[in-house]
Amino acid sequence: MSKQEQHWEKSKGLLTMTLAIWFVFSIGIFLFGAEMNEVTGPFGYPLTYWFTCQGSLGIFVILIFWFANRQEKIDEEFGFSEKGDD
Amino acid sequence: MIKGNFIDNLPKVYGIYTGGFLAFIIIMSIAEQMGVTAKTIGICFVAFTVAIYAIIGYLSRTAQADAYYVAGRQVPTVFNGMATAADWMSGASFVAMAGGIYFKGYGYMALLVGWTGGYVLVASLLAPYLRKFGCYTVPDFIGTRYGGNLSRFMAVVVLTVASFTYVTAQINATGTIASVALDIPFQYAVYVGLVSILLCSMLGGMRGVTWTQVAQYIVLIIAYLLPVFWISNKMGAGFFPHFMLADEVSRIAELEAQFGFVKNTAENLKEVPKGLAGITKAHSAVNATPWAFISLALAMMMGTASLPHVMMRYFTTPSVKAARKSVGWSLFFIFLLYSSAPMLATLSKLSLIDPSLPTGIIGKSISEVQAIDWYQNWNQANLMFVSDFNGNGTLELNEFFMGGKAVVLATPEIAGLPYVISGLVAAGGMAAAMSTADGLILAIANAISHDVYYKIIDPKAETAKRLVVARVLLVVIGFAGATIAALEIQGILGSVIWAFDFAMSGLFFPLVLGVWWKRANKEGAVAGMALGLISGAAYLVWVRSGGSGFLGITQLTFGIFGSAVSLVAMVVVSLMTQAPNAATQKMVDEVRVPAGKSILGKQH
């Protein structure tokens, strides 16, 4: 496998993981919205309500930064990152 | 005028700007103490901020194509994040979101999840790759990746349909705010709004829009957060509302159980002015089926990833790496406002319905409520209404009606905040609507001037001529939008949500598969765009004309149907026709690697 193919395989792996986490917090948990709302979540809010107000939104922010860092590492590993600028 | 130096000094420049704006707020509050009228303060807020944006727009003027189309590709990540957040958060987000949460509860929260979750798709599937491509516009990517004028033209069509649906609502919002703040009739205020919008974008194109959007973000976020924190502290609900409103949320649930949701008869509801609603849904309980919630969230997420005015913001970053990080910053800045909207809705609702609070009106006698100053003001503005349906002389929960906008606009006054806050909120709403309108008009005008005029009609045109065409189009599209907005048929054309559905129907899969599926070809992309848009639009027309729909897909989520058709059409047609040639396949390989030259040159 060429260097480029390996790089793409790893990138696809990261994409799959990112989309899996995204799926859980944007779709998965809301399949059980009613049941989850019985539980008390962070800061004392009902759990599903908290996810819709803050939880899922905040997790998306963190997820994007995590993804960006991981992808940068992959690019560096194969020498494909850009030089100089940020 | 604005070059290298300016970029290095950005934190300082915007730091001074923010300080200046805060000083302006303080001066206005002193003026209020000294007896300056509320109307003058409102005019000052709107006029002062719009004048600043116009100055920034003028200073950013340019005669270069890459500055005009992509701000010279030198916008740092954090500032691009702010600009994107302003571009993204429309007048509707600013004025109507808290109201939507207030009235519809959980069912509406799907929009918050959708409008944020979409950025994960933007960051992981598209933005970095389109940045590497080096395109000026979204159709530029489609046209080059798939080849041929037809694919480019189809992308322009989808972009125009989606963005134009969106922009009339934004111009309408600037007109509404201008007419209230400046006290002029709406038909003229719409054009005042339009001129303000064009002042930001005409001379500097994307460069002008970028630096005004950063300024507009600062105004709108201060205008949103300051009242939320102030009200929360004043009510004694908590110093930091986001972490401290659990008691208030459970108190609302308690009151809801105590009052009950009494259903009004159709006859009684006839009395209620149009556009006002009562509290009929639980505040924090789950009141929608899983599919209703998920389908709406999914449609908004895929729509987010397909809206060209957002995507083109990531063409302005200096590198691919910066484009990825910038998406994270964008969402962070959006999160600041979105996570505050539910808190505002909670504070607003509790302050009105809790009889044990001094501001609570439920349980008071009707005549007592009708004598309250703020009730009279907002009743006159057609945003509040009470009526004694059961004739017992006391106001019940089901006898109190409010407009969605009132949650943001009236809560500061109800909580007893000074008028200066209302002026600030007007300036914030204006900033939110203007920044989104600018991004949208620019997206349409750039696509037509670059992709239709330069790439298809006259590929030999000089830069100067191209930029003249771009600016003329900007004005023409702005006027078309304003004219339609002035007709006030917003119910039909203004639905922001439809724009997401149109965009995802036609563009989501052609964009994503362009990067992630090498086998995708021109024929497939054209079929995907055309059939996706047509089937999505047909579904919308069918449901609106009384059709029953299927699979629970409503007129708000028709993009799910459109994009499914688009995916199937694109895959089937691609596989039935020839694979893309070796040069195209190599191009896709290069797009997938951040290093190296972009596919399209700096000037193209």
Q: Which residues of A touch B251 (CB under 8 A)?
A: none
Q: Is the pLDDT of residue B116 over 60?
A: yes
pLDDT of residue B337: 94
What pLDDT, in 10s, does the model give residues B483-534? 887 776 655 445 788 899 999 999 999 999 999 999 999 999 999 999 999 9
pLDDT of residue B343: 94
What pLDDT, in 10s, does the model give residues B147-171? 888 999 999 999 998 998 888 888 8
CA-to-CA distance for B92 and B94, rounded, in angstroms?
A: 5
Does any domain span residue B322? yes
Does any domain span residue B224? yes
Mean pLDDT for B71-97 is 89
Residue of A nearest to B586 (CA): A4
Q: Is the pLDDT of residue B40 over 70?
A: yes
- The whole model's pTM is what? 0.93
Q: Is the pLDDT of residue A85 over 70?
A: no
Question: Which residue in the set B119, B319, B589 is minimally distant from A60, CB to CB?
Answer: B119
Does any domain span residue B102? yes
Of the pLDDT bands very low, low, confident and very high (cuts 50, 70, 90), residue A84 is: low
Domain with residue B48: its CATH number is 1.20.1730.10
A34-38, B57-61, B160-164, B457-461: least confident range:
B457-461
pLDDT of residue B602: 65
Cβ–Cβ gap B286/A37 under 8 Å:
yes
pLDDT of residue B492: 45
CA-to-CA distance for B357 and B593, rounded, in angstroms?
A: 60
Residues near B464 by Cβ (< 8 Å), separated by ≥ 6? B63
Compute the CA torsion angle A8, A13, A15, A21 (nearest 10 deg).
-170
Of the pLDDT bands very low, low, confident and very high (cuts 50, 70, 90), residue A36 is: confident
Q: Is the pLDDT of residue B70 over 80?
A: yes
Does any domain span residue A84? no
Q: Give me the domain span that covers residue B155.
A: 5-236+286-345+419-591
What pLDDT, in 10s, does the model give residues B446-459? 888 888 878 888 88
ipTM for this model: 0.95
CA-to-CA distance for B283 and B179, rounded, in angstroms?
A: 33
Give the β-pairing of B384-386 and B400-403: antiparallel
Does any domain span residue A1? no
Q: Which residues of B touch A7 (CB under 8 A)?
A: 592-593
Residues near B113 by Cβ (< 8 Å), separated by ≥ 6? A26, A30, A51, A52, A56, A57, B297, B300
Min distance B512 CA to chain A CA atoms (Å): 13
Does any domain span residue A65? yes
**What value does the mean pLDDT of chain B take?**
88
Phi, psi of B385, rounded to the nearest 5 degrees: -160, 135
Min distance B393 CA to chain A CA atoms (Å): 35
- What's the structural domain count of chain B? 1
pLDDT of residue B490: 54
Min distance B71 CA to chain A CA atoms (Å): 17
Q: Is the pLDDT of residue A86 over 70?
A: no
pLDDT of residue B531: 95
pLDDT of residue B491: 55
Q: Is the pLDDT of residue B463 over 90?
A: no
What pLDDT, in 10s, does the model give residues B10-30? 888 899 999 999 999 999 999
Does any domain span residue A86? no
CB A53 within 8 A of CB B339: yes
First to last CA, chain A: 30
pLDDT of residue B597: 78
Does any domain span residue B209? yes
- Residues shown for chain B: 604
Mean pLDDT for B526-549 is 91
pLDDT of residue B341: 93
Residues near A31 by Cβ (< 8 Å), separated by ≥ 6? B290, B294
pLDDT of residue B456: 82
Our CA angle for B159, B126, B79, nearest 5°, is 90
Q: Is the pLDDT of residue B364 over 60?
A: yes
What pLDDT, in 10s, does the model give residues B170-212? 888 888 778 877 778 878 888 888 888 888 888 888 898 999 9
Q: What is the DSSP letter of B362?
A: T
Cβ–Cβ gap B335/A37 under 8 Å:
no
Residue of B nearest to A42 (CA): B243
Q: Is the pLDDT of residue B554 over 90?
A: no
Of the pLDDT bands very low, low, confident and very high (cuts 50, 70, 90), residue A3 is: confident
Mean pLDDT for A43-59 is 92
| Structural tokens at position A86 | 């940020």
Does any domain span residue B410? no
Q: Which residues of B touch A61 (CB under 8 A)?
A: 116, 328, 331-332, 335
CB B203 within 8 A of CB B120: no
- What's the structural domain count of chain A? 1
Residue in B199, B237, B159 with CA at minimum distance from that of residue B499:
B159
Q: Give me the domain span that covers residue A11.
A: 7-77
Instruction: Select the more confidently predicted residue: B568 or B41.
Output: B568
pLDDT of residue B369: 87
* Secondary structure element (H or E) that encloses residue B386, with its range: strand B384-386
| Structural tokens at position B78 | 């954090």
CA-to-CA distance for A25 and A27, rounded, in angstroms?
A: 6
| Structural tokens at position B80 | 């691009």
Return the residue in A64, A66, A67, A81 with the most chain B beta carbons within 10 A, the one to mutate for interface testing. A64
Does any domain span residue A49? yes
